[in-house]
Structure 1
Amino acid sequence: MPNITLSIPPGVYEKMKKHKEVKWSEVARKAIIEYLEKLEEGELEVSSEELLEELGEDFVKDLESIPDEKFEEYYKKAREAEWKRLKSFMTRTY
């Protein structure tokens, strides 16, 4: 199973340390699965602003620190990858 790293505010971490009986990775895993299910069922529409707020200030600062040239490069790569994905999907379904 792949691993991910989460950043949380120090105050939340201190509270989590007080509850060593809780398997926090399981709590996070279940929350992510539930969130994905809601997204896939169309129950959850998230605006860019809401998503950035949920991801936190550190993420926003990291995002803002990306130079425009790098952002443009990443965007072009993502656009090309999405085009290839759609093209292969369209080829398979017709």
Structure 2
Amino acid sequence: MTNMTFSIPDEIHKKMKEHPEIKWSQIARSALIKYIENLELAEEIVSKSTLKIEDVEEIGAEIKRKAWELHKKRMEDLR
């Protein structure tokens, strides 16, 4: 198994020291494994997708437009 070293903020380290019963290396290892699994799943989904970048941009623009319309309506309803 490979060792990995990384920095964490001092505040997080202080909080971790309050719980010496927790195996923090296992928590980090589990989080990394889960992140990689999610990344691989996303890559698999994307590899099978027929959407083009233009399609994604169009869908995103439509979502933003509808969200803005909903926000405006709710603001008007509050008046």
TM-score normalised per structure 1: 0.44
Mapping for residues 1-94 of structure 1, pairs under 5 Å: 1-42=1-42
Matched with 1:68 is: none
How far the C-alpha of 1:12 sits from its partner, in A, is 0.2
How far the C-alpha of 1:28 sits from its partner, in A, is 0.1
Q: Point out the structure with max Rg over C-alpha.
A: 2
Q: Number of paired residues?
A: 43
RMSD over aligned Cα, in angstroms? 1.1
Letter in 1 for 2:28: A
Unaligned runs of 5+ in 1: 44-94
Whole-angstrom distance in 2 between the partners of 1:25 and 1:9 = 16
Unaligned runs of 5+ in 2: 44-79
Q: Name the SS of the counterpart of 1:6 in structure 2.
A: coil
Q: Name the SS of the counterpart of 1:37 in structure 2.
A: helix
How far the C-alpha of 1:6 sits from its partner, in A, is 1.5
TM-score normalised per structure 2: 0.53
Moved over 2 A (4+): none
How far the C-alpha of 1:8 sits from its partner, in A, is 0.3
How far the C-alpha of 1:7 sits from its partner, in A, is 0.6
Q: Which one has more relative contact order, counting CA pairs under 8 Å at least 6 apart? A: 2
